[in-house]
Amino acid sequence: MNKIWNHKLIVTVVKKGLARKVVEASKKAGAEGGTVVFARGTGIHEFKTFLGIQIQPEKEVVLTLVTSNQIEMVLSAIENSAKLYKPGNGIGFVVDTKKIAGICHILK
């Protein structure tokens, strides 16, 4: 049971079309996969105009659950694959988890 509690959630928000790269990089770094959710950006780098009309580019949010000892390697792989070190490319952050259900396959 304690094994489940040492997991962290990596949340990565990137431009539409980059989620696949993020998931592939995280898998190569040791993650088992990820969940992709579609969203719209509202940050300072998000608004662009087309024919004078302001548009909000679409985003993809990748949720990746990993063990605490995988965080550095997986987050680094995600950062490099999506070039998060460049302004406007996205953001990645880690959220602590307290309770998790539905990952019984990891306990085997």
* pLDDT reading at 43 higher than 70: no
Q: pLDDT per residue over 57-100, tens digit each?
A: 789 999 999 999 999 999 999 999 999 999 888 999 999 998 88
Q: Are 23 and 105 in contact (CB under 8 A)?
A: no
What gap in Å lies between CA 87 and CA 90, rounded to an integer? 7
Fold for 2-98, please state it: Alpha-Beta Plaits (3.30.70)
What gap in Å lies between CA 104 and CA 87, rounded to an integer? 38
Burial 67-94 (b: 16+ CB within 10 A, else e): eeebeeebbebbbebbebeeeeebebeb
Question: What is the residue extent of each domain of the chain?
Answer: 2-98
Average pLDDT over residues 30-57: 74
